[in-house]
Structure 1
């Protein structure tokens, strides 16, 4: 039986990531209202627009959240090293949070670096799960 309490920091990272997603959704929605974006119509593809960047930041986390959740679930089910899982999960969350800020402020190089950090964190979680499985 897996002692789930050893993964509390990873569960915290899941909850914080959910909160981050909610905040990103609210930011994108409020900006759309302020900019009088017509619902159902595409947002202009323009990196100079904060609305575009906020929307892309929100959409981007939606692209990786399923991988994060499935990776955490797999690693925990395999009773993977909790220190590795907890650390990588918290790094994923921090990278995604700072990624969003970098997107909002249009810091392109920082945004790309933080995306890479979050991707490495996902790989580490998966690898830890497979190491435990073998």
Structure 2
């Protein structure tokens, strides 16, 4: 993929993340760090469960659009899934930020010597050591 494609993608995702931040700010969606409870396991679990229901709703809308072969709507709905996922990361505060860095680092360290794209599923999988 070329640099222009990367730039367009980064701009789009950055715009989405900024929109999520502004949305949460406008509607005063609390971050766990702001309410000084980011280490309260019960509150974190409750928050994640509530956010999971939002994600499931959006995934369901995406699935319905796919089943109806409404491709433009399906694309929009998967972006809604990303919007809610980004909102969940924001709500988690520092834990969410740190996990973003951890997941990025973990995935950035994967290389073609150790991983291959499964031709059936399209998922990146660890190569069989016997290959």
- Pairwise same-fold verdict (TM > 0.5): no
Q: Which has the higher contact order (CA 8 A, sep 6+)?
A: 1
Q: If each structure's strand is expressed as a fraction of its own residues, which one has the higher value?
A: 2
Q: If each structure's helix is expressed as a fraction of its own residues, which one has the higher value?
A: 1
Question: Which is greater in Rg?
Answer: 2
Pairwise TM-score range, normalised by the shorter structure: 0.3 to 0.5
